[in-house]
Structure 1
Amino acid sequence: MLHEILLSLSGHPSPLLRNISSSSSPQASSSNPDIATSAGILTPPERALLASLAELSDLHVGLKAATAQIAASHPSVICRAVASAIDAIHLAAFQRKVLAVEAALLRGDAALVGAHRIVPLTALVGEFDDGCWRRVLGFLAGVVRFMESKGVEERGGGGAGPKVMDMLRAELQTGYADVERAAGELVAVAERAWLKQVSAWVLYGRVGGPGEGDFFVRVELGEDGEQEYVCESGLLPCFVTSATAASMLFIGRSLNHIRALSARDYSLRGNDHLSTQLTRLAALKHPIDAATFSNAITKIRHFLSRTTLQRLLPLSKVLETLNLLRDFFLLRRGEFAMALTQQAEEKIKSRWKRAENLAHERRDTLGNVTMKEGEVATVLAKTWAAMGSMQGEHAEDDEGLELARDLLRLTISKSRTSRPLTPAVTEGGFGAIAPTPFRNLLFSIPVVLTLQLPSPLDLFLSQTDLQTYTAINSYLLSLRRAHIRLTDLWKVTALRRHHPAPPSPQTGSTRGGREQTLLYRQRHTVRSNALRNAWATASAAIFFLGELEGYLQTEVVAGLSDGFHAWLTTSEDEQRQGKATSKMPLNLPLDETSHTNNGQGDTWVSAAPSSPTPSTTPSSSSSSTPPSGTQTQPHDPQTLSIAHRAYLRILVHRLLLSQQSFTDPLYELLVQIDHLVALIHRLQAVWAAADLEADMGVVDAFVDLAREERDVQGEIRGVERRVKQGIEGLIAELRRLEGSGALLDPGGMDDGLGDREGTLADWGSYVPRRVGGVDRLLMKLDFGSWFGRGRGDDDGVEPEL
């Protein structure tokens, strides 16, 4: 019997202990002969004593079978490692316990063997009935059931490893020391298996292979057919933060870029792995601490940036790209917006003329007006030619213009929405870019300016960043286009002067000449009075657009861009040095500040000049010499990418592009301005035809010029009213947004930074500069009497323009 019990505890199924707890049931005993036999051999007290051993036997047998099955066929490498560890460590320890008890019985140990070599059953049961093994084996059975559950094995086992790791780390909080020790050993095994996948990715840039479903990096095919690496946040273990995952994704993507470029550049060969950094991952202690793991990944990223990425993506290349985006997407080069608007207007006019010429032959004028992809690209090519002619002989020396020719493209947007929701504008506490279709205004079809992203630059810029730049460009370009179209009205000489001109003095001195001159003057007076309100409305709209553009370009775009450029050209070491220097007490001499830190000298302060103070020499922090042994390094590409996204988020917010309650009325105003300009040009064409009919006798029998003139003037008066109401509504919306605090920078950016540089923070992180508020714009937009009726005038009389 003792032999049968020990064999059963060793993992061999035994009829003696199998379902011994069920032997007390008569129905179970009659249906199972093994149970009936054991019920006849064992007395009820013996069955009660052996119930705990039967439970241990069942747990051991079940664990051996389940762990063997998982280790052989489970798709998750981490689950296989955990199952193998359960069998090799914990079940082996239980087997050694059984062997130790058997050895004690064979030696006749007095603790188990009594007189006449009688072994009390209570003594044997006492060796295993202390509760320790029951808790440990029960915990291991729970782990096995968790790995076998359908929720863990969904998608072919994908994500099972991280879920098991999180479950085991949660079990470390138990109050039993033996369970905590077992969970800690399994956590270490699971994390080592996971770190092998991490090492393959962050040290060699390789993903896939056995157990790829456990790793958070996924390979997808982009729109251009190239491989893209994305992060699946649901596969991240609990100790991996989103920032750490972004760093790991960046490191692996960089290594793959280097491997791809090394096929063409021999100088990059041999730099596609970081095997020297393996010790950082091997030195991690289990369970892995989130801060320690993040620090190790950060050091690996910095090592990669110092050794390889500085050659692959130097700071000069980043600055060149940012200047390109600033010049052409954010319209720092005003001649680009002017030339593009003029070329687009000429193309649209030529399309309409062609449609009118073919209208009498074919009734497909709409198809003739619709722009094609090639025609849109031709407009951009003519824009480059126009900009080159503006610069004359200096056009060839403009490297920015040549780079823009190579990388910028003007294309027809295929998507129906304004732009998708992107992380560049959804993170940080404020919403997505408003879906107002500003891109429809240039050609009356959705046209966007895009950038062909070269291979190394996608380490710093993402497609979502380019989409944000495209949306901002459409927004700013629509404002500039409306401003240009309104100011071009003053270039139409026939609308501002006598046309045709009065007769010459010789002819004008005659009676017929005087009558003709009087007729011309009366005609000019009537037409001038008819357009008086239209000119006043256009002037007011020009003023509104000019002030709005000035605020957006000077206050917002220029301020934020200059602050980001200042941070970009300042190394992290210089920023830390400036941060430490800025914390010195300003009322103490420089030689006394060394005693402010509990008597310990400040290395940063001692390296600074002794005479000037930081308040009198702002550049002292950047010009002082860092401590010996400190190397000044520029920002690594991922830090630049994170800072650039923060810059774009605050830029979108400050440009009011995230406020749909402002952008929608602004779009309607721009549409009404286009309508007003078109009607004025149409009225000028009607007047020219009337002059030909009255003065030259050229008659068009198919057109009633007098009726058309009345209709156009009536439409102009309606558009004037809508333009005025649109400007009033936008100013009211700006007052509402400014009063409600909706324009305050989220995340504590409006915390009293004032107009200082705002680019130095702990550990060199980027803090956007605080730019001017909307109250300055509202002060300039206070028209006085022109909008007086909307603020309390109740006389019912339309203000005179």
Structure 2
Amino acid sequence: MLHEILLSLSGQPSPIFEQPAKDRGSAQDGFPLLSPQEKALLEPIARLSRLHGLLRVHSAHISSSHPSTICRAASTTIATEYLGSFQEKILEVERSILGKDAGYVGGYGIVPLSTVVGEFSPWVRKMEWLWDTSQFMLPYVAKDAKTKGTAAGSGCSGAALIDYLRTESQTGYTDVEEISLGLIKAAEAAWMRQLSVFILYGHLPSLGREDFFIQEGPSSGDRRVNTADFQLQPDLVPKFVSRSTATSILFVGRSLNHIRARGKFPAGEEAKHSSSQMTLHGEFIRCLSSLTSPISMISLANAISEIRLSLSHTVLSQLLPLHKIMEVLSLLHNFLLLGRGEFAMALVSHADERISTKHKRTYQATSVEETLDVLTLKESEVSTVLTQAWTELYSIPNAEDPVDDELDLARSLLRLSIEKDTSISKDMKSANQILTYISDVNFSDILLGSPTTLSLHINPPLDLFLAQSDMIVYSKIHSYLLGIRRGQMRLGDLWKRTSLRRVHPSPWGPPMSNKPGGRANLKLGRERQKKRAALMRRVWASGSAALFVFSELGSYLQGEVIGSSWRHFKGWLNGGRPQSSSGQGSRPGTASSTNTLYHSHDPETINIAHRTYLAHLIQSLFLTDVPFTRTLRALIAHVDRFVSLLGQLQTIQQNLDLETDEGVFDSLQDYSQDEARVWAEVSTARTSLERSMTDLIARLRDIDDHRITKGATSLDASTRHVAPELRWVKGNEETLRGRQENNIFVPWRAAGVDRLLMRLEFGGASADDNAADGLDFGGNTVFEE
């Protein structure tokens, strides 16, 4: 009987125990060859026997078929180490019984069952925990007695298993903690092998690639070069890896991939960099081998940080120098953030000319198909608009710098194209969480009537620093700012339409005005002009108010927000901390100049700071506030309608004047009826324009009130669950100074909406409809006749 018991514990079938068709070895029908007392005593042995058999089969299945190499390593450790230890325990008990050890064999050679059961009782909890762990790796589905069990589904990921084992290691049972720590060691060793391949050579692991937290995505760089674009998979990142550490790992791997495939150095430099890369590999291996299981979050972060800094200060300092990054950032600021105002004006003016030309061609079309073909925006037309803008910028003389290198660089890198899909994919939002909080109100169709986007073509090795998701953020900011600038320009152009503002051409003078007919014509013209001026007075007041709102809003966003944020960020890039105006005039050797130390920034630190800069830029530009962007988009649409109707009114009045003064008639048109209809539409458009302005200012006050009452901005609430580098810096001045001393970028915080509101209120803008009826937003009282 003892022999049968030991054989059954080893996983062999035994007639002593009835095999139930249930998993986890739960005996339900008892043991038919044993007495009730023996059956109760041997129940733990029966459970161990069945669990041992199930674990061997299931662990073998996991080790051979699981897609995760981490789960395979843990399952192999269960089979070889812990099930092997259990087998050794069985052999040890068998040797002791055969050797008549007094601890097992009593008088007359009797071996008490209680002694054997007591030896294996501690293994019951271990086996049950190991079975639960194997079930977590790959769920087991029991079949009937004639077939073996099979696994359901593809199982868990390696990161989920590591997190599960780390949680189970804190259950309080010493034996379970010991086993879980052993499995953690095996799982983390397999994970470190995957990490080493990526962080040493820039390759994804060949085995278990789908289980690694960095995956290969669509390449946005040069297709002719054998490189890959990598992206993070947050659901595959173990919990002991912080987001900043995962981002650093991604940066190091991508950098090594670029160095291997694109890093071409001048003659005489390649051998030096090759030897330095071999030295780097030795340093990387030393940093990774210093990690012990269970891996600490801090120790891993320190090791990755050391690897990143070593790489940045050697090879990357030649491949991606700071002045190259500064050059591209300055280009983005001047052209996509409209730092060079002449570029925005040229782009808007040539786009309006293109739209006007298309509208004229639609009147000449002879069929519906031809009309649709004319109205459809083509890539060639979009490219022509940008080319004409470059031509105009080159024609502007610059006495300070006749050769504009930045303009040449911008012409070679910037692309204006039709936007195929205005929605943002889930992968893009996962790669850059800033995109999650940008309003979905579309401004890209303002320039040419169809969605277009201005973006920068990212050439290697700049794609180490700029991602495609960053360019989406810049493009959205550009469309938003260009919409405001275009509205300001269109309203300003109204004052260039002379015939709407004064008598044009001028009335007859002597000698024609001295004749009776001339005096009658002069009187008729004056009465007509007086009537038009009375009707246009309210129109000009609304147009002046809208121009004032657009001017102040654009001035605030461009000067207070973008200008100050860029100077702050540029100062941090140049000197490690923002440059203060008080220290610029100091003489060499003084305290103010010696205290300004230069800090070198590695590309990944600059990348994090750049993402922080962008995050707080979209917050300060109100791009995260959906009600504000929706109201602003409606206001821009009302401005277009308002300006278009005034253009129609101007044409109709000129034709009416020709009929009255010169006798030029058009039998196909009734200009008097058209004038009445357009006047009614102008009145409706003016009312809508004023209402939109009122709503916009009311929303600005709500934003300011929320900032005062809640003590936080909308980005504070929206980034509660995102990376710390995307949040505003809280705390007192000592905290801010401490972060600056540690060379961490602290973003510029705008003064707030109250400054913009004070300008609007000083100019006469008010959210009160009654006040708006009496003021033209420029401080001038409007009188009606």
The TM-score normalised by the length of structure 1 is 0.82
Q: Secondary structure at the match of 1:781?
A: helix
1:401 positional shift: 0.9
- Asked whether 1:549 is paired with 2:540, we answer no
User: Could you tell me which residue of structure 2 aligns to residue 494 of structure 1?
Assistant: 499
Contact 1:239 1:289 in 2 (8 A): yes
Matches within 5 A, 1:161-310: 161-221=158-218, 227-262=228-263, 267=270, 275-276=281-282, 277-310=284-317
Q: Secondary structure at the match of 1:768?
A: coil
Q: 1:752/1:126 Cα in 2 relative to 1: closer, same or farther (>3 Å)?
A: closer
Q: 1:351/1:396 Cα in 2 relative to 1: closer, same or farther (>3 Å)?
A: farther
CA offsets, 1:738-776, max 9 Å, x none? 113277364474858799998944632222112121111
Q: 1:97/1:265 Cα in 2 relative to 1: closer, same or farther (>3 Å)?
A: farther
1:477 positional shift: 0.8
Contact 2:429 2:436 in 1 (8 A): no
- Asked whether 1:770 is paired with 2:749, we answer yes
**Match for residue 419 of structure 2 among 413, 422, 427:** 413
Per mean C-alpha deviation after superposition, the further-off stretch among 61-70 and 373-382 is 61-70
Which one-letter code corresponds to 1:384 in the other structure?
Answer: W
Q: Distance in 1 between matches of 2:100 and 2:738?
A: 80
Q: 1:173/1:681 Cα in 2 relative to 1: closer, same or farther (>3 Å)?
A: same
Q: 1:792/1:128 Cα in 2 relative to 1: closer, same or farther (>3 Å)?
A: same
User: Could you tell me which residue of structure 2 aligns to residue 644 of structure 1?
Assistant: 610
- Asked whether 1:447 is paired with 2:446, we answer no
User: Could you tell me which residue of structure 2 aligns to residue 672 of structure 1?
Assistant: 638
User: Could you tell me which residue of structure 2 aligns to residue 140 of structure 1?
Assistant: 130
User: Could you tell me which residue of structure 1 aligns to residue 383 of structure 2?
Assistant: 377
Q: Percent of pairs identical after alignment?
A: 38
User: Could you tell me which residue of structure 2 aligns to residue 387 of structure 1?
Assistant: 393
Per mean C-alpha deviation after superposition, the further-off stretch among 198-207 and 228-237 is 228-237
**Match for residue 344 of structure 1 among 343, 351, 358:** 351
Which one-letter code corresponds to 2:749 in the other structure?
Answer: R
CA offsets, 1:142-186, max 9 Å, x none? 3333333169977644x4433332232222123332222122112
Q: Secondary structure at the match of 1:219?
A: strand
Q: 1:60/1:390 Cα in 2 relative to 1: closer, same or farther (>3 Å)?
A: same
Which one-letter code corresponds to 2:116 in the other structure?
Answer: V
Q: Distance in 1 between matches of 2:764 and 2:73?
A: 80
Contact 1:113 1:119 in 2 (8 A): yes
Contact 1:169 1:183 in 2 (8 A): yes
Which one-letter code corresponds to 2:242 in the other structure?
Answer: T
Q: Secondary structure at the match of 2:441?
A: coil
Q: 1:2/1:683 Cα in 2 relative to 1: closer, same or farther (>3 Å)?
A: closer
Q: 1:418/1:292 Cα in 2 relative to 1: closer, same or farther (>3 Å)?
A: closer
Q: 1:409/1:69 Cα in 2 relative to 1: closer, same or farther (>3 Å)?
A: closer
Q: Secondary structure at the match of 2:182?
A: helix
Q: Distance in 1 between matches of 2:172 and 2:694?
A: 68
Q: Distance in 2 between matches of 1:47 and 1:721?
A: 92
User: Could you tell me which residue of structure 1 aligns to residue 73 of structure 2?
Assistant: 81
**Match for residue 658 of structure 1 among 620, 624, 633:** 624
Contact 1:442 1:478 in 2 (8 A): yes
Q: Secondary structure at the match of 1:414?
A: coil
Contact 2:197 2:205 in 1 (8 A): no
CA offsets, 1:600-619, max 9 Å, x none? xxxxxxxxx9x977xxx3x5
Matches within 5 A, 1:456-467: 456-467=461-472
Q: 1:46/1:676 Cα in 2 relative to 1: closer, same or farther (>3 Å)?
A: closer
- Asked whether 1:531 is paired with 2:536, we answer yes
Contact 1:219 1:230 in 2 (8 A): yes
Q: Distance in 1 between matches of 2:427 and 2:737?
A: 28
Contact 1:50 1:125 in 2 (8 A): no
Contact 1:672 1:719 in 2 (8 A): yes
Q: Distance in 2 between matches of 1:19 and 1:76?
A: 32
Which blocks of at least 5 consecutive residues in structure 2 are unaligned?
23-27, 142-149, 581-586, 717-726, 776-780
User: Could you tell me which residue of structure 2 aligns to residue 594 of structure 1?
Assistant: none
- Asked whether 1:128 is paired with 2:135, we answer no
Q: Distance in 2 between matches of 1:105 and 1:759?
A: 70
CA offsets, 1:763-794, max 9 Å, x none? 32222112121111111112677759625799
Contact 2:641 2:685 in 1 (8 A): yes
Which one-letter code corresponds to 1:652 in the other structure?
Answer: I
Q: Distance in 2 between matches of 1:490 and 1:355?
A: 28
Q: 1:181/1:477 Cα in 2 relative to 1: closer, same or farther (>3 Å)?
A: same
Q: Distance in 1 between matches of 2:105 and 2:301?
A: 57
Contact 2:736 2:746 in 1 (8 A): no
User: Could you tell me which residue of structure 2 aligns to residue 99 of structure 1?
Assistant: 91
Q: Distance in 1 between matches of 2:670 and 2:11?
A: 106
Matches within 5 A, 1:685-700: 685-700=651-666
Q: 1:753/1:709 Cα in 2 relative to 1: closer, same or farther (>3 Å)?
A: farther
Contact 1:79 1:164 in 2 (8 A): yes
Q: Distance in 2 between matches of 1:549 and 1:665?
A: 15
Q: 1:99/1:249 Cα in 2 relative to 1: closer, same or farther (>3 Å)?
A: same
Q: Secondary structure at the match of 2:575?
A: coil
Q: 1:86/1:540 Cα in 2 relative to 1: closer, same or farther (>3 Å)?
A: closer
User: Could you tell me which residue of structure 2 aligns to residue 714 of structure 1?
Assistant: 680
Q: Distance in 2 between matches of 1:792 and 1:393?
A: 48
Q: Distance in 1 between matches of 2:735 and 2:235?
A: 41
Which one-letter code corresponds to 1:744 in the other structure?
Answer: T
- Asked whether 1:621 is paired with 2:595, we answer yes
1:45 positional shift: 5.2
Which blocks of at least 5 consecutive residues in structure 1 are unaligned?
30-34, 579-608, 624-631
User: Could you tell me which residue of structure 1 aligns to residue 669 of structure 2?
Assistant: 703
CA offsets, 1:103-162, max 9 Å, x none? 44454444344556x243358526614x323333333333333333169977644x4433
1:377 positional shift: 1.0
Q: Secondary structure at the match of 1:230?
A: strand
Per mean C-alpha deviation after superposition, the further-off stretch among 296-305 and 62-71 is 62-71
1:293 positional shift: 1.7
1:696 positional shift: 3.5
What's the C-alpha RMSD, in Å, of the aligned pairs? Answer: 4.0
Which one-letter code corresponds to 2:241 in the other structure?
Answer: V
* Higher Rg of the two aligned structures: 1
User: Could you tell me which residue of structure 1 aligns to residue 574 of structure 2?
Assistant: 569
Q: 1:755/1:380 Cα in 2 relative to 1: closer, same or farther (>3 Å)?
A: farther
Which one-letter code corresponds to 1:644 in the other structure?
Answer: H
Q: 1:175/1:88 Cα in 2 relative to 1: closer, same or farther (>3 Å)?
A: same
Which one-letter code corresponds to 2:568 in the other structure?
Answer: G
The TM-score normalised by the length of structure 2 is 0.84
Q: Secondary structure at the match of 2:315?
A: helix
User: Could you tell me which residue of structure 1 aligns to residue 146 of structure 2?
Assistant: none
Q: Distance in 2 between matches of 1:537 and 1:271?
A: 68
User: Could you tell me which residue of structure 2 aligns to residue 584 of structure 1?
Assistant: none
Which one-letter code corresponds to 2:322 in the other structure?
Answer: L
User: Could you tell me which residue of structure 2 aligns to residue 586 of structure 1?
Assistant: none
User: Could you tell me which residue of structure 2 aligns to residue 627 of structure 1?
Assistant: none
Contact 1:759 1:768 in 2 (8 A): no
CA offsets, 1:210-249, max 9 Å, x none? 2233322222335898854222222222322222222222
Q: 1:169/1:508 Cα in 2 relative to 1: closer, same or farther (>3 Å)?
A: same
Q: Distance in 2 between matches of 1:793 and 1:64?
A: 82
- Asked whether 1:731 is paired with 2:697, we answer yes
Which one-letter code corresponds to 1:782 in the other structure?
Answer: E
User: Could you tell me which residue of structure 2 aligns to residue 436 of structure 1?
Assistant: 441
User: Could you tell me which residue of structure 2 aligns to residue 626 of structure 1?
Assistant: none
